[in-house]
Amino acid sequence: MHPWPALQAIAVDLTESLRASDRYQRLLEVVRSVIPCNATALLALRDGALHPLAVHGLTAQVLGMRFAPADHPRLGAILDSAKPIRFPADSELPDPFDGFVEGAPGAPSEVHDCLGCPLVAEGEVIGVLTADALAPDAFDGFGEEFLLALGALAGAALHTARLIETVEHLAEQRGLVVKELTRELGRPESSQMLGTSPAVERLRQEIDIVAGTDFPVLVLGETGVGKELAARAIHDGSSRRDAPLIQVNCAALPDGVIESELFGHIRGAFTGAVANRAGKFELAHGGTLFLDEIGELPLAAQAKLLRAIQEGEVQRVGTDTPIQVNVRIVAATNRDLAGEVAQGRFRADLYHRLHVFPLRVPPLRERRSDIAILAGFFVDRYRAKLGDAKVVLTPEAIAALAAGDWPGNVRELDHVIARAVLRARIRTPRGQPIRIDTPDLDIAEVATMTPTHGERDAVVRKIASGQLPLRDAIESLKYAAITRTLEETSGNWAEAARRLGMDRSNLHHMAHRLGVPTRAKSLSR
């Protein structure tokens, strides 16, 4: 190809709808077609170092290298120059590509003629284009005017390709984010952070304090208390609220896919990797990454997660190329992570990195005054789903709910209400209001402890007159029911649990909390 038509080919490529990677290769193909060289390279300037984007005639090893100008004076000279530079065969500056030219006789190869063009866009040097030849006179026939035009067009091509690459990456990220959020919308809705109890008000205050920072947050709490809701509240109250909140359930990730799920992979990285795929860190760029059940991550994955958090960069599986990410980490667990660290099952350095601002979500038994509010929310939600006009909880049902121990917390309450609505609907004539009563709740341990009508009326009178707080009345009822049942079963805890309709471990837990005498417990032996 004649030199000047070659420039026209570069200009035409600037208007074509090519992917960024295709533009890089086309540019080098045009350069090789017009300049008699053994190797060419296109390098972009990023973070003070030159990163190879595409090469021709050089070994693949070069693509994984980074060239700091201070370590490679020829490349430094090209970056500092306002025009193309030719390095003669007797130049004292070492060539960065010596030993990497393919097909060269002998090893290592020695480059004899080198040409370098600084690539400039909008007044800023953004990279370099190099051409290397084993013959010392390979570039004698090219004037400065042509080389200046080549450098200008190559710079424009690189700038355009980088813009396209940015748009492509953004489009990929946004598309995957939409898929993630769509998947979230398909999940069953969870309750809002409802309640007026002191425990919930305190939690809201702590969320307000930490949401406006970029600190990592470790959300602690038992199963079913609403740790995900706390994480969403943190994100919604932060400056990142308009960016995505990406959730990862660490407990649901098989060991073989954890790294790919978090950091992504490239095509061919492993069996089944048929295309490049961004990881959750990339999808959450600019937003929040919620790592649920982080205590379930294996130690090997913990080490890589720590590096990603500390360095602010990830590497897709199958490549050494780092990708800068800007994410806020919110993690959650129902485990005692300090204890896990002591047992060697969780990394101490990762624990301290996450434990900057621990946030404890209270269990339902510490916010009993919220149970009626939550129950009302769940009842109304299932009423709307079933298309019924009216569903109400009787006072006896509300009292029974308030008396529950709720080891499954808010999630368990949600499920109990769902079953209760269905049971009550089955026995209610069509068109009549649905009333949920105690038998509909299927919490046997609570139903067994519910007093008779006479006992109930006596207790209600004491509560109404201020002689007995509601919570104390409920706790006293549980205490009396457990001790009475133990006496009737001669201290047989298994039989007592069966009669009370409880799991034995839950009965032990409740008895310990209520202060049932140790003597009664010893009877089970």
Q: 131 has which bridge partners?
A: 40, 115
User: Model-level pTM?
Assistant: 0.56
Using the 8-state DSSP alphabet, how is residue 362 labeled? Answer: P
**CA nearest to 412, candidates 438, 374, 448, 450:** 374
Please give the residue that has the higher pLDDT: either 443 or 384. Answer: 384
Top-ranked range on mean pLDDT: pick from 52-56, 178-182, 446-450: 52-56
| Shared domain check, 371 and 356 | no
**CA nearest to 131, candidates 50, 28, 53, 45:** 28
End residue of a domain, out of 311, 343, 362: 362
Strands 49-56 and 85-87: unpaired
36: in domain: yes
Would you list the DSSP string of 144-174? HHHHHHHHHHHHHHHHHHHHHHHHHHHHHHH
> CA 420 to CA 438: how far, in whole Å?
9
Confidence of residue 145 (pLDDT cuts 50, 70, 90): low
Confidence of residue 17 (pLDDT cuts 50, 70, 90): very low
| Shared domain check, 293 and 241 | yes
107: in domain: yes
160: in domain: yes
477: pLDDT strictly greater than 80: no
Predicted pLDDT of residue 191: 40
140: in domain: yes
**CA nearest to 309, candidates 346, 265, 349, 250:** 349
| Shared domain check, 89 and 36 | yes
Q: 120 has which bridge partners?
A: 125
> CA 89 to CA 86: how far, in whole Å?
10
CATH of the domain at 232: 3.40.50.300
Do 34 and 6 contact (CB within 8 A), yes or no? Answer: yes
> CA 345 to CA 299: how far, in whole Å?
7
| Shared domain check, 213 and 318 | yes
283: pLDDT strictly greater than 70: yes
Q: 292 has which bridge partners?
A: 249
Please give the residue that has the higher pLDDT: either 161 or 371. Answer: 371
| C-alpha 260, offset from chain centre | 12
* 119-131: average pLDDT: 80
How many other CB atoms sit within 10 Å of the CB of residue 433?
A: 11
The secondary element (H helix, E strand) that includes residue 227 is helix 227-236
The label of the residue with tokens 């130049």 reads 91
Confidence of residue 278 (pLDDT cuts 50, 70, 90): confident
Predicted pLDDT of residue 182: 43
For residue range 220-231, list pLDDT tens digits in order: 999 889 999 999
Residue 422 has which token pair?
């269905």
> CA 212 to CA 234: how far, in whole Å?
8
Q: Residue 299 sits in which domain range? A: 198-362
For residue range 318-330, list pLDDT tens digits in order: 888 888 889 999 9
Long-range contacts of range 273-280, CB-CB < 8 Å, 24 or more positions apart?
A: 273/317, 273/318, 276/316, 277/316, 278/172, 278/173, 278/176, 278/316, 279/314, 279/316, 280/246, 280/248
Top-ranked range on mean pLDDT: pick from 167-171, 185-189, 194-198, 490-494: 194-198
End residue of a domain, out of 442, 468, 497: 442
| Shared domain check, 103 and 28 | yes
| Shared domain check, 513 and 469 | yes
185: in domain: no
**CA nearest to 227, candidates 362, 413, 417, 338:** 362
> CA 493 to CA 117: how far, in whole Å?
85
Please give the residue that has the higher pLDDT: either 110 or 519. Answer: 110
Our count of domains for the chain comes to 4
Across the beta sheet with 113-121, the strand order is 49-56, 39-46, 124-133, 113-121, 85-87
> Which of 179-183, 319-323, 422-426 shows the lowest per-residue confidence on average (mean pLDDT)?
179-183
For residue range 30-63, list pLDDT tens digits in order: 777 777 788 888 888 888 888 888 888 888 778 8
| Shared domain check, 384 and 489 | no
| Shared domain check, 503 and 384 | no
Do 209 and 348 contact (CB within 8 A), yes or no? Answer: no
179: in domain: no
Strands 39-46 and 49-56: antiparallel
List Cβ neighbours of 340 (8 Å cut-off, separation of 6 or more): 295, 346, 351
180: pLDDT strictly greater than 70: no
Predicted pLDDT of residue 434: 86
Confidence of residue 424 (pLDDT cuts 50, 70, 90): confident
Confidence of residue 219 (pLDDT cuts 50, 70, 90): very high
| Shared domain check, 88 and 225 | no
CATH of the domain at 428: 1.10.8.60
CATH of the domain at 56: 3.30.450.40
| Shared domain check, 254 and 357 | yes
* 467-483: average pLDDT: 71
204: in domain: yes
- 276-312: buried (b, 16+ CB within 10 Å) or exposed (e) per residue? ebbbbbbbbbebbbbbbbbbbbeeebbebbbebbeee
| Shared domain check, 310 and 254 | yes
182: in domain: no
**CA nearest to 148, candidates 91, 86, 77:** 86
> Which of 20-24, 173-177, 334-338 shows the lowest per-residue confidence on average (mean pLDDT)?
173-177
Amino acid at 64: G
Residue 142 has which token pair?
């090219």
End residue of a domain, out of 115, 142, 165: 165
Confidence of residue 154 (pLDDT cuts 50, 70, 90): low
Residue 215 has which token pair?
């600190």
| Shared domain check, 488 and 372 | no
Do 360 and 319 contact (CB within 8 A), yes or no? Answer: no
Secondary structure E strands in 259-378:
264-265, 277-278, 288-292, 313-315, 322-324, 328-333, 357-360
Surface-to-core class of residue 6, CB atoms within 10 Å of its CB (0-12 exposed, 13-18 middle, 19+ buried): buried
